[in-house]
Structure 1
């Protein structure tokens, strides 16, 4: 079991299909506790990021797109002038998989590196 944000971010997404790869609720809670300010909403993990301006928002969106491309695991994004909402779930498993938490952790590490 992953014990830190860095350990979670160091993992790579794997192709997953089928409900057998859905994480049990206890694992969802354990992984969610590693992700600062991410919440569980309607079967997805969600975080709203706020920025000072459009430029910073778009830089963040591009970084998320890069992670999504590298991991072949894509979030739903809702983008506004100074904020972006990121939502993850794994459609191919019909719920949450480890891939959702790996990508969320990678995004968190990107933000930590930028500070």
Structure 2
């Protein structure tokens, strides 16, 4: 597991600015290249493909467990063999370190 994945998410109630592009880019370099910037640059997104519905739902449930244990929740959409995950910190209206920590933990599921 990466060093980033071993960090703990910090509670975020807002009142702080989102990460600037330089700080977000440094963290993005520490996650798998599958994580892309959203169109507006305020989120990171990744698409995943699986062999069947069972694998897809198992992955979604594992991501839900990560969300529950970190208290940081992504937007998830999925179908028969695909899943898309989007992370951004709602309380700050953009990206926080928590988004990249969770992305790194998801990467660890597949490594």
Give the shorter-chain TM-score range. over 0.9
How much does 1:111 deviate?
A: 1.2
How much does 1:24 deviate?
A: 1.3
The structure with the largest helix share of the pair is 1
Deviations 1:42-78 (A, max 9, x none): 2110000000000000000000000000000000001
What TM-score comes out, normalization by structure 1 length? 0.89
Aligned length: 108
Unaligned regions of 5+ residues in structure 1, if any?
Answer: none
What TM-score comes out, normalization by structure 2 length? 0.92
Unaligned regions of 5+ residues in structure 2, if any?
Answer: none
Q: 1:39 aligned to 2:30? A: no
In the alignment, the residues of structure 2 paired with residue 32 and residue 80 of structure 1 have an alpha-carbon distance, to the nearest angstrom, of 26
In the alignment, the residues of structure 1 paired with residue 96 and residue 17 of structure 2 have an alpha-carbon distance, to the nearest angstrom, of 6
Where do 4+ consecutive residues of structure 1 move more than 3 Å? none
How much does 1:19 deviate?
A: 4.8
Picking from 22, 29, 40, the partner of 1:26 is 22
